[in-house]
Each structure stands twice: as C-alpha cells, then as structure tokens.
C-alpha cells in the first residue's frame, strides 16, 4: 500500500491509494488506476474553491483535474468532462 493516508473508491470499481498533504494542498497518487503506474500529483487551485468543494489540477496536464468535496465525493475530470466519480476516505492516524 505504501505511505498513503487515504483511499478513493471509484464508481468504475478501481480502488486507489492517495496521500493527502497535511495542508490539503496536494493529492499524491502512485500505482495503478488512472495514475498509470507513475506518481501523479494534483495541486489545489488557489481561489477556485466554493463552499462545498476544492479544485485540483495536475500541473503537467492542466486539462486533468480533480474536484474534492467536503462529503468525500471526488470527480476526475478531463477537459471539463467527468471521467469517473468516487469517494475519498482518510485513514485515522494512531
């Protein structure tokens, strides 16, 4: 599983582990799934959040975005189209 503190269960049936930075400014994926066997980092877009959701961009591929809402809903988007939806669960640290 690696050094991750959360998991996204996608509607497509894929489960992906993610590291959410302590500031929630970065989401880091490593492994299979949409990250295609590589490390993919999404950065929060400053000033783009609303009352319910935060917006993240993949810097090398700005058309690829994640929308993360306070209830744990995650949407993977590309060029404004939703590719997948899921639910983020953060592990409690002991």
Instruction: Identify whether 55 is part of a domain.
Output: yes
Instruction: Identify whether 1 is part of a domain.
Output: no
C-alpha triplet 18, 23, 24: angle, nearest 5°: 40
Contact (Cβ atoms closer than 8 angstroms) between residue 40 and residue 32: no
Instruction: Identify whether 36 is part of a domain.
Output: yes
Give tens-digit pLDDT for 34-54: 555 588 899 999 988 888 999
Which has the closest alpha carbon to 29: 15, 11, 49?
A: 15
- Which residue range(s) make up the domain with 35? 6-90
Give tens-digit pLDDT for 66-89: 999 999 999 999 999 999 999 999
Counting the structural domains of the chain, the total is 1
Contact (Cβ atoms closer than 8 angstroms) between residue 63 and residue 78: yes
b/e sequence 66-88, b meaning 16+ C-beta within 10 Å: bbbeeeeebbbbeeeeeebebeb
Instruction: Identify whether 62 is part of a domain.
Output: yes
Beta carbons within 8 Å of 71's beta carbon, 6+ residues apart: 52
Give the Cα separation of 5 and 20 in Å (integer).
7
The pTM for the full model equals 0.85
């Amino acid at each position: 599983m690696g050094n991750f503190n959360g998991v996204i269960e996608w509607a497509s049936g894929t489960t992906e582990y993610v590291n959410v930075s302590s500031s929630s400014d970065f989401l880091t994926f490593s492994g299979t799934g949409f990250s295609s066997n590589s490390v993919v980092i999404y950065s929060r877009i400053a000033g783009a959040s609303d009352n319910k959701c935060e917006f993240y961009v993949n810097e090398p591929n700005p058309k690829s975005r994640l929308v993360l809402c306070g209830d744990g809903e995650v949407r993977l988007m590309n060029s404004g189209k939703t590719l997948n939806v899921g639910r983020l669960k953060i592990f409690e640290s002991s």
